[in-house]
Amino acid sequence: MATAQYLEVYAGIPEERDLIRSRLIENAYRLMQSPDGLHALLPTLYSSMLGISTMVRAAAAKTLGKLSERRREDVPDLMYEAYTAMLSDPYVIVHSAAAEALFRIDLPPGLRARAQNAIGRLVDGYAVSRQDDGRLLEFMDLYLRRFATEAQLQGQLGTFFVALLEKLKPELIADKLRSLRRLLRHVEGFADLVVKVLADPQITEYREEDLMRTLNDLPVAAIQKLLPQLEAIASAAQGPRSLPANLVETLTRTGAWSEAVRINEAIYAKIPDTTERRPLKLRVNLDRLAAKYEEAIALGHLNALPALAREWRETEAQIEIDRKQHEKRRRPFPDIPGPH
Partner 1 sequence: MKNAAVLSQTFPARISATEALIESVATRTDNASELRQAADALDRVGPLYGRASTAEVYAAFAELLRTVALLIEWRTAILTAQADTERFLRAAKAQYQLWLTDYGKVEAAAALVRASAGIDAVKSIEEVGAVCGAIARTPLPLGVFADDSGVPHSRAQQDSEKQEKPEPSELAVAFLRFVIDGVPAAETHFLTPGEAHDLEVEVRVSRWPEQANTLRLTPVTIEPRSSYDFPDFTFARPSGDAPFRMEQRQRAMLRVPQGLQARPFEFKYAAAFEPTGPEEPVVVGQRSLRIEGIDIRQAAMTGYPGIDAKILKVRDHLRSEALINAADLNNVLTVLIPLASLAARTLQDALFKEATGEAYFQSEVRNELRRIPTIASELEEHAQAGGGITDLSFCGIRIELKFEPKKTLALVDCTAFAEQAVSYVVATGKRVGILCVLDHSPKAAAAFPADAGIDVLIVNPTKQAPVYIVVVLIQGNLARPSDLSR
- In the bound complex, what is the minimum distance in angstroms from residue 107's beta carbon to partner 1? 11
Judged by DSSP in three states, 275 sits in: coil
Q: Which is nearer to partner 1, 199 or 290 (CB)?
A: 290
Q: Which is nearer to partner 1, 240 or 272 (CB)?
A: 240
Q: Which is nearer to partner 1, 75 or 226 (CB)?
A: 75
Give the Å distances, CA to CA, from 48 to 59, 79, 175, 181: 8, 11, 33, 37
Q: How far apart are alpha carbons 195 and 230 in whole angstroms?
A: 7
- In the bound complex, what is the minimum distance in angstroms from residue 314's beta carbon to partner 1? 13
**Residue among 196, 195, 217, 300 at smallest CA distance from 257:** 300
Residue type for 110, please? G
Q: Which is nearer to partner 1, 38 or 144 (CB)?
A: 38
- In the bound complex, what is the minimum distance in angstroms from residue 207's beta carbon to partner 1? 12
**Residue among 67, 76, 18 at smallest CA distance from 46:** 76
Which stretches does DSSP call E strand in the chain? none
CB atoms near residue 44 (< 10 Å): 17
Q: Which is nearer to partner 1, 87 or 136 (CB)?
A: 87
CB neighbours of 153 closer than 8 A, spacing ≥ 6?
144, 161, 183, 184, 186, 187
Q: Helix axis angle, 35-49 relative to 18-26, nearest 10°?
A: 150
Q: Which is nearer to partner 1, 113 or 236 (CB)?
A: 113
Which residues would be at the binding site for partner 1 (CB under 8 A)? 34-36, 38-39, 42-43, 45-46, 70-71, 73-79, 81-82, 110-111, 113-114, 117, 209, 212-213, 216, 220, 240, 242, 245-246, 248-249, 252-253, 255, 257, 260, 283, 286-287, 290-291, 293-295, 297-298, 300, 302, 305-306, 309, 312, 316, 319, 340
Q: How far apart are alpha carbons 56 and 62 in whole angstroms?
A: 10
Which contiguous run of DSSP H or E holds residue 102? helix 92-102
- In the bound complex, what is the minimum distance in angstroms from residue 316's beta carbon to partner 1? 7
Q: Which is nearer to partner 1, 172 or 280 (CB)?
A: 280
Q: How far apart are alpha carbons 200 and 216 in whole angstroms?
A: 18
Q: Which is nearer to partner 1, 48 or 96 (CB)?
A: 48
- In the bound complex, what is the minimum distance in angstroms from residue 165's beta carbon to partner 1? 24
- In the bound complex, what is the minimum distance in angstroms from residue 39's beta carbon to partner 1? 5
Q: Which is nearer to partner 1, 34 or 229 (CB)?
A: 34
Max Cα-Cα span within the chain: 88
- In the bound complex, what is the minimum distance in angstroms from residue 166's beta carbon to partner 1? 27
- In the bound complex, what is the minimum distance in angstroms from residue 120's beta carbon to partner 1? 12
CB neighbours of 281 closer than 8 A, spacing ≥ 6?
268, 271, 272, 273
Q: How far apart are alpha carbons 295 and 272 in whole angstroms?
A: 25
Using the CB atoms, write b or e for 308-327: b if 16+ within 10 Å.
Answer: beebbeebeeebeebeeeee
- In the bound complex, what is the minimum distance in angstroms from residue 122's beta carbon to partner 1? 16
